[in-house]
Amino acid sequence: MLAARPTAILTSGLTAALGEGPYALVARLCREAPAAGIEVAFDVNIRPQLGDVRGQGKRSRELLEGCGRLFIGTDEALPVFGVDAPDAIIAAARSAGVAETVVKAGADGLWVDAGADTYHLPSAASSVVDPVGAGDAGRRRLSGRSAPRAGRAAVRVARQPAGRRHRLHAR
């Protein structure tokens, strides 16, 4: 994968939780990609169905070394950083060396820490129907969109039930 010289790699705690082999692959990518000039984006993606949530959080924290961008939900931050407030999550991510963090907070919206600036993008929903897809839309940042534009796209998608087709063009 690194030989193909992509500009960025998106990897996930979900992949790392699938077993020792997938974990070793993700760890290697997180370690070697930055040295090759390839940005690493990491989506924590903790899944209780895959077992020990605390262990998944610990492993996700270990994988942050070398990651330039982090996508994390407030529900996932407690096992990773020991905090769940967006400002504390951002501070912990910065301490871990992450340059840009997207914090998904359900009906409370999205926080995007883009280094020099931090944005709060409120959700248009009073309750979350299904959070699946909001993080995917937030990752539009990887395609070159500005942090606020990618975040607005994520907030719009989070208003909709999963399984519905979404236009991800930020307005």
| pLDDT, position 24 | 95
Tell whether the model's pLDDT for residue 81 goes beyond 60.
yes
**Model pLDDT for residues 93-144, shown as the tens digit of each residue:** 999 999 999 999 888 888 999 878 888 988 776 666 555 555 554 555 545 5
The torsion angles phi and psi of 99, rounded to 5 degrees, stand at -80, -35
β-sheet bridge partners, residue 43 = 12, 71
Report which residue type is found at 125: A
CA 9 to chain CA mean position, Å: 12
Tell whether the model's pLDDT for residue 79 goes beyond 90.
yes
| pLDDT, position 31 | 92
All domains of the chain in start order, with CATH: 2-118 (3.40.1190.20)
Specify the pTM: 0.77
**Per-residue tokens: 138:** 């937030």
Task: Answer for the pair 72, 89: CB distance below 8 angstroms, yes or no.
Answer: yes
Q: List alpha helices for the chain, DSSP H.
A: 13-16, 20-32, 53-63, 74-81, 86-95, 134-138, 147-158
| pLDDT, position 32 | 92
Q: Which of 151, 66, 82 is nearest to 117 (CA)?
A: 151
| pLDDT, position 166 | 42
Q: How far apart are CA 118 and CA 121, in angstroms?
A: 10
Tell whether the model's pLDDT for residue 170 goes beyond 60.
no
